[in-house]
Structure 1
Amino acid sequence: MATLKDVKTKIGAVKKTKQITKAMNMVAASRLRGAQTSMIGFRPYASKFAEVLGSISERGGSGAAPLLAIREKISKINIVLCTSDRGLCGGFNASLIGKAESFAKEKAASDIKVSFTNYGKKGRDWVRKSDFEIESEYIGVVGGKFGFNISVNAGKKLIDGFLSGEYDEVYVIYSEFVSSARQIPVIKQLLPIPPLEKIEKSEDETKQYLPEHICEPSPAELLNEMLPKNVYVQIYSALLETSTSEHAARMAAMNNATKACNDIIESLTLAYNKARQSAITSDLMDIVGGAEALKG
């Protein structure tokens, strides 16, 4: 049985851990507000950009720009994997890496060479341990403050690789922020830019984007300018979503850790009181026994 000193030491250690987890929870909550504000502010822009681009590309056709052209044979793809640099955020990174692993192995099983562009240390470390190749890595981005240039730098390299035939397809895997309690790993195709998504009209019919935009000069020339920017926008949006999801996941994980510390402290306190009561009872029995012996 543990001595009183051992139990008291454990209680003190758990209380210090609780202070750390509570502080990390508060920091994550503070950063979550800032990241969520940036993400919510960017979503309407990304949505409207896709709407305008969809209207123009619909009239221009799939052969209007090289970034719309679908390759006949897929032999090599690149996956942009967005993870965090730090842990202590529950299963956040594990779910993203699991999604990337299953997707990459599925492609590799079809004799497709898979390479990665990594945002975050956790994803990079996993790729290093696997059989896949790392084309580029960007550390210290997700979870902190970053600008649009971060997505432009990676986007230009991916576009150049696609146009030169180095990649036949490019995908991005990121965590979509749904709520503070729910973040979903998502796979999205970046290159070639996928066909225009349909908007649900009713159960039996669908309709395409309705806006008719006046194009000057021609739709093809506009697409050559706008399609690369669409890649940058999609990467930047994925980073904002992942950064917000990371803070939410860490806040939830630290909240659960704080609750676990409270449970452990309560359990150890009960054990401490029982041990203390047992020691006092033993001392009283010795005193009573001694007194009875003196009377005899």
Structure 2
Amino acid sequence: MATLKDIRTRIKSIKSTQQVTKAMQMVAAAKLRRAQEAALQARPYAEKLKEMLGSLSTKVDTSLNPLLSAREEVDRLLVIMITSDRGLCGAFNTNIMKLAQKIMTEDHAALHKSGKISMICAGTKGYDFFRKRDYNVIKAYPGVFQELKFDVAREIAEQAAGMYLKGDVDKVVVVYNEFKSVLAPNLRSEVLLPIAPEAAAEEVSSSSDYIYEPSPASIIDVLVPKHLNTQIWRMMLESNAAEQAGRMAAMDSATENAKELIRQLNISYNRARQAAITTELSEIVAGADALSGD
């Protein structure tokens, strides 16, 4: 049975931990506000680019642009996975890594067995996980979320597009956490390449009618790289916001658990203290009875 000193030491230790988790929760809440604003501001621009691409795809021969042309067979796959650089954010990283594994080992099992799946990992956690399991990680960006930069998103998009154009991969999938709410992120897997202009065209309002100069074909060649850069950047911003939300929720849960644990330990401490006092009183009474009997 734990002594009173042991219980006091444990209560003190948990209170110290509670202060840390409370501070981390407040820091995550402050970062979440900024990350959420950045993610929400990026959405309209990305959606408008997608809308313009859909409108253009109805006016030009999409087969003229290789990034808009789907391959008949997918023999090689590139998976871009976006995770966090740090932990203590609940199941944020675990869920996204499970989804990435499912896509590679179940949805594309034949390619996985033949070693025809490559990975680009943005974030330390995902890179460490798949590197230790001997997955083909061709490029990693650890520490990318310490200071988010658009240049990194552009580099990832350019590398993916270059591999697709060279024929090194036939399909590019991005796996990430989309910011949905503070309570839970939205696990997403999106096909980055080939770009599906039909899907983008479906989102274009029937009332939308644009006049393009110099020509739709020349504009689409400029618009496609911008679209890829913007999509990767948006996904990184979404993931960053979802990470901060996950960390805030995890630290709030840890703080509440510490509070409950301290309450239970205080009850145990009071019971142990009461038992010790009762024992001492019993010994005093027994001693007094023994003396009076003499």
Q: Secondary structure at the match of 2:59?
A: helix
SS at match of 1:70: coil
**Aligned equivalent of 1:260:** 257
Output the CA distance in 1 between the equivalents of 2:214 and 2:197: 23
1:189 is matched with which residue? 191
Greater mean alpha carbon deviation, residues 86-95 or residues 146-155: 146-155
Q: Output the CA distance in 2 between the equivalents of 1:31 and 1:114.
A: 35
Distance in 1 (CA, whole Å) between partners of 2:204 and 2:31 is 38
Structure-1 residue corresponding to 2:29: 29
Higher helix share: 2
Alignment of 1:83-232 (within 5 A): 83-111=83-111, 113-142=116-145, 144-197=146-199, 208-210=204-206, 211-232=208-229
Cα distance change on mapping 1:48 and 1:21 into 2, 3 Å: same
Q: Distance in 2 between matches of 1:167 and 1:107?
A: 16
Contact 1:81 1:173 in 2 (8 A): yes
State the alpha-carbon separation in 2 of the partners of residues 145 and 37 from structure 1. 16
- After TM superposition, the score normalised by the length of structure 1 is 0.94
Q: What is the distance in 2 between the residues matched to 1:91 and 1:115?
A: 24
Q: Which runs of 4+ in 1 moved over 2 A?
A: 129-132, 195-199, 206-210
Shift of 1:61: 3.2
| Aligned residue in 2 for 1:202 | none
- Does 128-137 or 25-34 show the bigger shift? 128-137
Provide the C-alpha distance between the structure 2 equivalents of 1:292 and 1:55, rounded to a whole number of angstroms: 100
> 1:83 Cα deviation (Å)?
0.3
Q: 2:288 is aligned with what amino acid?
A: A
Letter in 2 for 1:182: A
From 275, 278, 283, the equivalent of 1:278 is: 275
Alpha-carbon spacing, 1:124–1:162, altered in 2? closer, same or farther (3 Å): same
Deviation of 1:195 after TM superposition, in Å, equals: 3.2
Distance in structure 2 (CA, Å) of the matches to 1:177 and 1:162: 28
Q: Which residue of 1 aligns with 2:67?
A: 67
RMSD (Å) for aligned C-alpha atoms:
1.5
Structure 1 gap segments, 5+ residues each: 200-205
Secondary structure of residue in 1 paired with 2:84 = coil
Q: Which one of the candidate residues 231, 235, 259 is aligned to 1:234?
A: 231
**CA shift digits 1:168-212 (9 cap, x unpaired):** 11111110111100211100011110233278xxxxxx8854322
CA distance in 1, matches of 2:17, 2:87: 16
**Aligned residue type for 1:272:** Y
Alpha carbons 1:74, 1:169 under 8 Å: kept: yes
The farther-off stretch of 104-113 and 88-97 is 104-113
How far apart are the structure 2 equivalents of 1:213 and 1:145? 38
Q: Distance in 2 between matches of 1:262 and 1:207?
A: 49
Provide the secondary structure at the position in 2 that maps to 1:167. coil
- Matched with 1:243 is 240
Q: Distance in 2 between matches of 1:295 and 1:273?
A: 33
SS at match of 1:189: strand
Provide the C-alpha distance between the structure 1 equivalents of 2:192 and 2:83, rounded to a whole number of angstroms: 18
Structure 2: unaligned runs, 5 residues or longer: none
Is the counterpart of residue 291 in structure 1 residue 288 in structure 2?
yes
What one-letter code is carried by the residue in structure 1 that aligns with 2:226? K
Distance in structure 1 (CA, Å) of the matches to 2:48 and 2:149 = 20
* C-alpha contact (below 8 Å) 2:46/2:230 kept by paired residues: yes
The answer on whether the counterparts of 2:177 and 2:238 sit within 8 Å (CA) in structure 1 is yes
- Sequence identity (%): 40
- TM-score, length-scaled by structure 2: 0.94
- The amino acid that maps onto 1:193 is I
Alpha-carbon distance change, 51 to 100 in structure 1, aligned in 2, over 3 angstroms: same
1:45 CA displacement: 0.9
CA offset at residue 106 of structure 1?
2.6
* 161-170 vs 207-216, which moves further: 207-216
Instruction: Please give the alpha-carbon distance, in whole angstroms, between the structure 1 residues aligned to 2:15 and 2:281.
Output: 32
